[in-house]
Chains A and B, each alone.
Chain A
Amino acid sequence: MATRDQDSGGKFQLSRRDFVKVGAAAAAAGAVGVDWAVAPSRANAAEVAATYTTTCPYCSAQCGQKVDVAADGTVLDIYGDANNPTSRGGLCAKGASAYQLVTNERRIGVPEHTAAVDGFDFTGAGFEATGVAWKRTGNTAWEPMALGTAMTQIAEGLEAARGAVTPGTTAASNAKTVQFFGSSHMNNEQNYLYRKVIANFGTSLVEHQARI
C-alpha cells in the first residue's frame, strides 16, 4: 500500500478531518442532498491577487468553481461558484477535492513530486526550459528527456507505423495501424484540435470515454 500523505499539505490543504466534517455537515442537511456542501474560499484574502472562474473537472453537471490565485500564480483555493445556476456554490466530495487535484504532489512534471510517489523522478527538474517527457523500453525504468526530442521520436515512430496514405475515395485514404484515444477530460477546443490532427494524420482510428 502506498504511503498516505493526508497531513503533508500546506495551510490550505484539505485535511482528512476537515473533509469528513464537510461531508457530515452535508449529510445532516438532508434536504439539500447527500455529500453536497457549500463552502467559501479558505484562502487568506490578503494573499488573493485574482479570482478566476472555471468548472469542476469531474462529472457532467459542470458545477461552477472559483479559483483564488496569489500574485506568483500559486493556486490558493478552489471553491464553489455561487453564481452558477446549476450548482449555486455547492460541490460534492469530488469537486471539493479539486484543490488537492491541482496541487497534488503526485502529478507528473511538478516540482513537488518526489521519487517516493511512484519510484521514479517525475519532477521534470532540469527540463524547465525545454519541457519534459519520459520514456521507457519494455518494463525498464522511466528516463526523462526533452519534450521536443520526444515529440520528434514519437512523430517519426507514428509515421513509420502508419505507412503511406493515399488521398482519394478509397480505403487507402484511411490508415489502419495507429490507434488514437482522446478524452472527455479535455476542453472542446482541445478535442476539436485532437480530432483534426488525427484526420490530418490520415486515419479515423479514434475512440474515447464516451463509448464506455
Chain B
Amino acid sequence: MTNNWVDLGLSTAFFVIGANPVENHPASIAHLNSARFDTNGRGRNAALVVVDPRQTRTARMINAGYDSTNPNDMRKHDRYVRIRPGTNIAFVNGVLNSIIEWMYANKATSTVAQNFFAWHNGTSANHRSLGRAYIDDGGFHNRTLNATELAGAKYSHDGGATWVDAPIQNGWPKYSDSRLMVNDADVTGTPGPILTQNQIKFDYQRAILKTASNLADGADWRFTNMPVFAADIDTAGCVFQKLKTHAAKYPAATVATICGCTTADIAAVRDAWIANSRFASSDFDSASATITAAGYRSACIMYAMGATQFTSGSQGVRSYAVIQTLMGNMGRAGGGINALRGIHNVQGSTDMGVLFDLIPAYSGNPGVGQSYADYQNKLFGNRVLPQATTSTAKSAYVETDIAWQQRGFYNMTREWFGNRSVTTAGDIDKLWDLWPKGNGVQHIEAFRRMCPADDSEFVAEYHYTPTADKPRISACVVWGQNPAITEPNQGAVRTGLKNLDLLVVTDMFATETAQCSRKDTGVTYLLPACSHVEEAGSVASSGRWIQWRDRARDPKGTSRSDLELLLKFAKALDTAGAFSHITGQWATMTNSPGTSAYDVLYGKYGWDGTGSMEAVTGVDYEGNTLEGSEYVAEQIYKEMCSPLDGYVGTGAAGFVGGHKGTMWIYSGNKAAGHGAAYNPDEKTNVQPPAFELNPDGTVSTTAITWDVANRAKSRKGEAKYAAQHRQFPRYGWAWLLNRRVLYNNGELPGDVADVFVAPAYLARLWTIAGSNTLADWSWLYRAYNQLSDKPDQSTSAGQIHEYAGRFPGFTEPYETPYDGTGTLPNLVSTWGRNTGAAATEWGGAGASLNLMPGTTPLGTAKDYPLVLTSIRCVEHFQGGPITRNNAANVDCEPDPWIEINSADAIKYGITDGMWVNVVTARGESVTTQEALTAGGALAPVSGWAKGFKARVGVGTLANQRVAPGTVAIPWHWGDRGLGVGSRANDLCIDAGDANTRIPEYKACLCRIEPATP
C-alpha cells in the first residue's frame, strides 16, 4: 500500500478493482464504512465502485442510499461493473481515455479540467531537485546549481556539438513526467559518449547542461542526461501526448466488447474518478491539504490478487499507477494505490527478500561477474562510479561516502559474511565474493527442475532436461509454506516433490506438502513449529506498519520457535561443513572475522546453539528482562535497523550515530531529524511530527514522545494520537522514515516532501526501455529495472501495442474464450497474449507463450468453453492449514464449492447442491487428484476429492454472483486436515506474469460436468 489501512477512512472514493476486502480483508471495511457513512462528521460521504468478474460481497455493499442535497455525498457514484476475468487493463485504459477526452472537452468551462491542465503544466516550488546537489560528469558530488547558474546554463541535444538556451526554462514539472519529451526516432548524428545509449527511440529526450564553474582550470561544469521539458502537456511528443495516443486505442465501445461491460459503465466510473480527484478538491490551490474538510477529494484504488494473478499482472498494477498519478491522487491522504496483500507478514517477508531475485531490502542478487563497486553503484544512494581521483568523488568502500541502500548493503555484507571489524577494501571484496552471484529460479521452474527426463517413473509431460547450468534440483526445504496446495498445475508440482531425494518441511500441521507422495527412496523430514503467540518478533502490515508480537508463552509441547529451529539448522550446517567456503575465505583475509562460522555469524544473536534457546535471557534498552525468542528477535531487529543512525551496544552510550544497520528501509536520517525503527534517542520530534490533541480539539505544541527504543513496540493507538495526520504516527513504525503515506510531495500537514518520489522527484508515467541513466546527474540516484512485457501481436508503429512495455496494454489471458476456436470472436489475433521482452525460462524474447513451460497442456475454447477463476472466502485462508484444521472454520465452510450462473447450470445439467467435476486441460477434480496423493500408510481419507458443490445463482442473470460463461472456485482445500476437498490448483494454469512470475490463477479455461459422488 502506498497509504495504509487507517488512511482508508480519509478517502472520498474507493475503486475496488480486483479485490474482495469484505471477505479477505474485513478490517478495511470498518474504515471504508466510516468514510462512506461519515462517522466522523466531516460532512462528506465516500463512493464505492467495484469492478470485478464476480458480484462479490464487497460489490453488494454499493447503493446504500445518498443525500441528494449534499454536494459532498459521493455515494451517488456507487457502481458495480462486471468485467470478464483478465480484462482489467482494458477497462482502466478505457476509463483513462474517457477521462482525457473529458478534460479536453471541458477545458473551457470546467474548473476541474482547468485544474487538471494547470497541475500538469505547473512548475514546482517545493520539489527537492532544484537547489539540491548534482553530480557532474566527472563524478563530482555536491554541485549545487543556484538560480543564476541555471538561468545562464546552456543545453545541447547533440552531444555537445551545438549549444542552445534552456529546456529547463520551462520549469521543473511539479509531480509527474507528463511534460517530459520523448524521442520519436533514434537520434542520428554524432552524439557524445554518454548520450549514445540514451538517444534512442521512445526514450526520454536528453540534453547536456553546462554552466560556468569556479574550477581553477576554468572548465565548464557539465551534466549529461538532463531531461528535456515541454512548455505544456499539449506539446506534441511529450509523455502526456504519448499517453493520450495510447489511451485512444481504448474507445469505450471497444472496451465494452472486450470486458463485457457497457459504455455507460465506463462513463460512470470516469465521472466518479474525476469528481474525486485532486482537481475537484476544495484544497487544490492551497499549500497544504485540509484532509478533513467536507470539500476534500481523494480517490484510492484497492486491489489484490484480482489485479496481479494474470500474465499481464504487473502492467495491470502499472495501469493503476498511471491513472492515479494522472489524477493527482498519489501521495495524498485517502488516495494512492493500495495493494491488499495476502498473509499477515507478506510485506515483511518481501522486505526480507525471500525471493529468487532479491536479497533483503529490495536489493537484487549480486550478478555473475559483477564487482562490488558496480553493484553498489546501482543501488539507491550516491554515485560511486566512475571512480574519479578527486577528493569529492565517492568510494563504495568508504562508509561515509555511501548512503541509504548502499550503506545497508555494506553493513549486510559484513554482518552476513563476516563482522564489523571488516573495513578495508581488500577484505570487503573477500566478503563480496561470498555472496552467491546471480538469481535463483522462479517457483514454477523450480518444481520442473525436480523431475528430470531420465526418470521414467513419472509423467512424461512434465519431464525436464537438465543442463550444466540448470541442473536437477534434488533437495528442497519448505519452511512454513504448503506448495502442494498453493502452486498452480499440481500435476507438475507433485511430480517434482515426489522425485526429490530429500524433502524437509517445517510447519504447525502435517500438511499436504509434508505428506505428499514420495518415491520409494525419497526421505522426508517434518519439524514442528509453534504458533504466533509463542514466539516474538516484528511483522509488517500491508500498510508498512511494523508492529511487535509479544511472546505470550514458550512454544508448546515439543514444538519449537522458528528462531530456535533456524539457529539449530545453521549450527548443524556449520558442523556438516556447509559453511567451509566461508571460513576458508576468512583465512585469506587481512583481518579475519574468526574461525567458527556459527559463532561469528549467528552467536551474536544471543544463543550459542546448545541447550534450549528459551532459556536465554537479556535486558532491553528500557531495562526489561527479555526471555527466549523475545531477546533473540530483538537482537536481530537491532542489527536490521538504521544504516544512517544506528545503535550498537547497550545504553545511550552505545548510540554512536553511525552506519550500523543492514535494512536501509528501517533506517532514519539523524541529520534531518528522521528516526530509525530502533532508536534510543530522539524520542520526541522525529518524522512525521505528532502532536497531542487537547480536549477542546486544539493542537498542543507538546510533541508526543516515543516510549521505547524499539519503535515496533510503540502502541499509541488511542484516537487522540491520530493528531493532525489521522495516521497514528506513534503506533508502531512505518518504512520509509515512519512515513504513513508514500510519495506525498509535502502536502500532508506536518509532513515534509518525500524524497522517494523518484530520483528525478517525478512520478513516472513512462517506462524507459534500455536505459537506466536518467538520474545520473542527481544527488540521490539509483538504477531502474524496466518491465519486461511484449505482446505477441500488434506491436508495430501505429498499432495498439506500439508502446508495449512502456504504457500498460491489454493482452488476453493464455487461455481465453476469445481464442477463435469457440463461438466467440477472435480477440487474440488483435490484442495478442503477453510474452517476456527478454528471453524467459521457457523461450526466446517475445516468443509466443514464452511465459509458460512448453510442456503445460493448453486448452482451447472449443473444448473448454468456460472461464475458470479462483476465489477466496472469509472463513478460510490461502493453502488452508491454519483454517482447515480449526473446527469453527470447517463448520462454517466445510466443502469447496463452485459458483455458476443459472443459465450455465441449465446448459450443463447442474442443480444447486450437486457435486461438479471441473475439468481443464491439466486435470480434473476427482480421480486425477486422488492419483496425485500418497498411497500406502500415508493415504488420505478416501473420497476426499468429491469435486465442487454447486452454488447456482438465482434471479436475473445480471444480478447473480457470476456471469454466464464464468465459473469461480475457492482454492483453500486439499487432501489433509480436518476439512478436506478437491484442490483448485490441479486445474489452474502455470503461466506466469512477464515480470513477477505470479501465475495466472484468475483466468483459465474449463468445462464442467456433474460428478458422481
Interface residues of A (CB under 8 A from B): 1-2, 4-6, 8-9, 14, 16, 19-20, 23, 31-36, 50, 52-65, 67, 69, 73-75, 78, 83-88, 90, 92-94, 96-98, 100-102, 104, 106-111, 118-120, 122-124, 127-128, 131-142, 147-148, 150-159, 161-162, 164-171, 173-197, 199-212
Contacts and interface: CB of A to CB of B under 8 A. Distances in A.
Contacts of B560: 109, 131, 147
Given A86-B6, A161-B475, A200-B416, A94 B883 contact: yes
Contacts of A119: 937
A164 B659 CA distance: 34
A207 B344 contact: no
A133 B722 CA distance: 47
Interface string B532-553: 1111111111110111111111
B622 interface: no
B26 interface: yes
B568 A32 contact: no
Interface in B15-59: 22-30, 33, 37, 57
Contacts of A93: 874-875, 888-889, 892
Given A35-B26, A124-B528, 15 more contacts: A34-B57, A55-B549, A64-B717, A96-B888, A97-B888, A107-B528, A136-B518, A138-B519, A181-B476, A185-B481, A187-B549, A188-B538, A202-B581, A205-B446, A207-B355
Contacts of A73: 553-554
A161 B869 CA distance: 39
B562 interface: yes
A23 B892 contact: yes
B525 A154 contact: yes
A53 B550 contact: yes
Given A108-B528, A139-B937, A211-B998, A60 B509 contact: no
Can you list the 10 inter-chain pairs with the closest CB atoms, starting with the nearest? A183-B480, A187-B537, A124-B558, A109-B528, A33-B29, A184-B343, A182-B354, A62-B541, A155-B572, A174-B436
Contact of B26 (A92, A106, A185): A92
Contacts of B684: none
Contact of B435 (A14, A151, A166, A199): A199
B27 A61 contact: yes
Contacts of B345: 60, 62, 184-188, 191
B468 to A, nearest CB: 9
B437 A209 contact: no
Interface string B446-477: 10011000000000000000000111111111
Nearest to B719: A85
A177 B525 contact: no
A178 to B, nearest CB: 5
A61 B541 contact: yes
Contacts of A54: 532-533, 549-550, 552
Interface residues of B, number: 190
Candidate in B477, B502, B560, B731 with the most chain A CB atoms within 10 angstroms: B477
B418 to A, nearest CB: 11
A138 B521 contact: yes
B955 interface: no
Contacts of A181: 443, 476-479, 481, 483
A150 B883 CA distance: 28
B601 to A, nearest CB: 7
Contact of A110 (B539, B557, B570, B576): B557
Contact of B558 (A4, A132, A188): A132
Interface in B272-320: none
A83 B717 contact: yes
A194 B353 CA distance: 10
Nearest to B347: A60
B616 to A, nearest CB: 14
Contacts of B416: 196, 199-200
A53 B520 CA distance: 46
Contacts of A177: 471-475
Contact of A55 (B450, B539, B559): B539
B559 A92 contact: no
26 contacts: A14-B888, A19-B891, A31-B37, A69-B553, A94-B875, A97-B886, A100-B888, A101-B883, A106-B978, A110-B559, A119-B937, A134-B526, A139-B518, A139-B938, A161-B502, A167-B433, A179-B450, A186-B345, A190-B563, A193-B567, A195-B353, A195-B360, A205-B446, A209-B878, A212-B487, A212-B998
